[in-house]
Structure formats: C-alpha cells, structure tokens
Amino acid sequence: MSRPPFTLAGSLEGARLVLPVLPGVCVFATAFGAAAAQKGMTVWQALSMSAFVYAGASQMVALELWRETWSPSTILTVMAVTATVNARMVLMGAAMQPWMAAAPPAQNALNLFFFTDANWLIGTRYRAEGGSDLGILFGAGVALWVVWILATLPGFLTGALIADPRRYGIDLVMPIFFSAMLVPLWKGFGPALPWAVAGTVALAVEAAIPGYLFIVAGALAGALTGALLKDGDG
Amino acid sequence: MGEFIAGPAGPYLAIAAMAAATYACRAAGVVLMSRVRLTASVQRALRALPGSIVVATVLPIALKAGAPALVGLVAALVTMSLTRHELPALLAGLAAVSLARAAGI
C-alpha cells in the first residue's frame, strides 16, 4: 500500500469544496453562540467549546445539561451524552480507514481532530471519484473549524442575528447537503439495497428509542447488509 | 477533587471531557478498523457504509420535518443529478423548502 499524498494544493481544494456549506455552518454556530449566552456560559467557555469539541449537535445537546456548578457525576453524564450524539463519527472514521491506513499516524491524529460530517462527505465523494490526497479532508476540516469558531462569537454577543432561519430552510442545510451526496455515491439499485435497509432500521429505531441512536443503528444495519450481499461490488 | 470540580474550573473540565469524548469518536473508527483484517465481506460492509450513514441520518430527520423537507430533498437530488455540483443542489433544496413553507405546505 503506497502512502497517500497530503499536499497544500489538496488542502486549498478541500477548503474550496466546503464553501457551499459555510453559510449554513455560520447560522448553526451563531445559533449555538446565542443559546450558550442564554444558558449562562461565559464567552470564553462558548468559544472553547466550539474550538475543542467542534461538533454542533453535541454542543447544543450539552447546553441542555449546562450548569454553573459541576460534580464528577454531572461531568460523566455530559461526557456520555456527547459520545452518544457523536457515535456516528466512529462509523464515518471506519469508512475512511482504508484511505488513511498508509498515512503517518501523527498526520492522521491531526487530520482526525478536524474530522466532521461535511468534510467526511466531501472526502467520500472525492475518494469515490478516484482522488487520494488527504489534504482534501484537512483543508475542508480546517476551513469549517475556523468558520465554526468565528461564527460562535456574533451569536453570543447579539443573541440571534437571524430572526427566523427556518423561513429560508437554513435548519435543513445539512440534511439537504447530505442527501445530495447520494447522487455521486449511487452505483445502481443493487449497491443501494443496504441504504434501504439502513433507512428502514433508522426509522424504526427513531420511533422506538429517543436520542440519536437511530443513525448508528441504521448505518450498521446497512453495512451488515452490504457484507452479506454477495453481489455488492460497487 | 470534588471541590475543585465544583469550583470555577468546573465548566472547563466539562468542556475538556466533551472534547475528549468527541476526539475518541473521531479517531475510534480508524483505529479499530486498522486492527480488523480487510476480508471481502468487511470491504463490502465499508463500501455500503457511506450511503447507509447518509440515509440513516437524513430519512428520519426529513420525515420529522414534514413535507417541505421532503420537497427540498427531492429538489436537491434532482438538481444534483443534473448538474453534479453541490452548490446548485443546495440552493435548489433551500429554495424549495422556503417556497413550500411560504405556501404553507
């Protein structure tokens, strides 16, 4: 296995590819900043959370548990909830592993800090089209990270800049971006059978169990179906 | 220890705990799979994984968000098939959601 490249040109290309989602990311980060201010966080706490946790849905959920005085048990609770909300990243990372396998571990360790939904999607598409430059993941991830931190601040300072994001469909930016990615991933009905299983299981689990377990349960069911299908070559 | 956690450092410890949990999630998939032999069926599972994650994430969220979300997803999928570019697909999806919501669907 040859070592995949990691170039500056690839990083810049990654940053360019992520531009379409940046407005949506800005709105989400602004909403987080506004909610963090309402929950009594200081500006440094809100910015630290965006910089070091850098995972929107789990940051929002953590605000529901936010308090002024912490104890070992409340810290363990917020940690466990965070891991549950972000468990989907384990599967996204698993799907990336064949690409990263031959890269230096320290480089992967850094690259994975910036690993999130949007750059995973961009990287997956790029890889499916034959690319191998890991700078794509890195550049897209760093661009998202910088915008995520910067956009937390105006939300914190002003409450909410955008009066009604729902009116413009901003609340659905990520689902729409996600679903558009199915087109380049599409390889015919056979390879899409696991997707149908994934969707069905996700709906059933979502109806039965509150929280975000449906993503992991559905995705695992899809992967298992893929493993069992003899004709699953894509 | 308990007193330290209850003090002004508490919120930052909570953030550090969240950051550690999130980084563990980011790295775990790559670390775990490097210990699994890539047999043919494991490779098939990995190939099915990206689309499965997308569908398992989007479908329940879209159905919960109602008809405008579904209209938006269809508009994005159609535009993506025609143009093969994310930006027009995203704009078409958002425009369709806005129109559907403005029309009260």
Nearest Cβ partner for A97 among B34, B65, B81: B34
Nearest CA in chain A to B70: A176
**Cβ within 8 Å of residue A169, ≥6 positions away:** A176, B68, B72, B93, B94, B95, B96, B97, B98, B101
ipTM of the complex: 0.86
> Taking a C-beta distance cutoff of 8 angstroms, is the pair A160, A7 a contact?
no
Q: Output the pLDDT for position A159.
A: 66
**Measured distance CA(A201)–CA(A212) in Å, rounded:** 13
pLDDT of A23 over the 70 cut = yes
Nearest Cβ partner for B22 among A70, A86, A172: A86
CB contact under 8 A, B17 and A234: no
Q: Output the pLDDT for position A163.
A: 57
Q: Output the pLDDT for position B38.
A: 82
Q: Does A30 touch chain B (CB under 8 A)?
A: no
**Measured distance CA(B93)–CA(A136) in Å, rounded:** 25
Coil, strand or helix: which one is A2? coil
Residue A25's pLDDT band, with cuts at 50, 70 and 90, is: confident
Q: Does B2 touch chain A (CB under 8 A)?
A: yes
pTM, to two decimals: 0.83
Nearest CA in chain A to B85: A180
Q: Output the pLDDT for position A233.
A: 47
Considering only A27-31, A76-80, A113-117, A164-168, which range has the smallest mean pLDDT? A164-168
Q: Output the pLDDT for position A24.
A: 81
Q: Output the pLDDT for position A234.
A: 42
pLDDT in tens, A198-211: 999 999 999 999 88
Strand stretches in A15-111, DSSP E: none
CA B21, B26, B32, B35 dihedral sign is: negative
pLDDT in tens, B4-58: 899 899 999 999 999 999 999 999 999 999 998 888 999 899 889 989 999 998 9
In the numeric block, the tokens 């069911």 are attached to A221
pLDDT in tens, A77-109: 899 889 988 999 999 999 999 999 999 999 999
Q: Output the pLDDT for position A61.
A: 85
Q: Which of residues 7-36 of B touch A (CB under 8 A)?
A: 10-30, 32-34
CB contact under 8 A, A202 and B59: yes
Comparing B104 with A231, which gets the higher pLDDT? B104
Q: Does B39 touch chain A (CB under 8 A)?
A: no
Q: Give the CA count within 13 Å in the CB-facing half-sphere of A71.
A: 2
Q: Is A209 exposed, middle or buried (0-12, 13-18, 19+ CB in 10 A)?
A: exposed
A-to-B residue pairs, Cβ atoms closer than 8 angstroms: 305
Q: Output the pLDDT for position A165.
A: 65
pLDDT of B75 over the 90 cut = yes
pLDDT of A1 over the 70 cut = no
Comparing B94 with A230, which gets the higher pLDDT? B94
Per DSSP, the residues of A194-216 read HHHHHHHHHHHHHHHS-SSHHHH
Q: Does A203 touch chain B (CB under 8 A)?
A: yes
pLDDT in tens, A127-178: 999 999 999 999 999 999 999 999 999 988 886 555 566 777 777 877 888 8
Q: Output the pLDDT for position A71.
A: 93
* Interface residue of A176, A177, A189 to substitute, partner B, most B CBs within 10 Å: A176
Q: Output the pLDDT for position A5.
A: 96
* Interface residue of A41, A179, A189, A216 to substitute, partner B, most B CBs within 10 Å: A179
Which residues from chain B sit within 8 angstroms of residue A177, using beta carbons?
A: 76, 86, 90
CB contact under 8 A, B56 and A199: yes
Q: Output the pLDDT for position B105.
A: 79
Using alpha carbons, select from B86, B12, B63, B49 the residue that is nearest to residue A181: B86
**Measured distance CA(B57)–CA(B59) in Å, rounded:** 6
Q: Does B68 touch chain A (CB under 8 A)?
A: yes
> Taking a C-beta distance cutoff of 8 angstroms, is the pair A132, A4 a contact?
yes
Task: Supply the mean pLDDT for chain A.
Answer: 90
pLDDT in tens, A218-233: 999 999 999 998 754 4
Q: Which of residues 6-25 of A touch B (CB under 8 A)?
A: 17, 19-21, 24
Here the tokens at position B99 are 């129109």
Q: Output the pLDDT for position A231.
A: 56
Which residues from chain B sit within 8 angstroms of residue A75, using beta carbons?
A: 5, 10, 13-14, 17
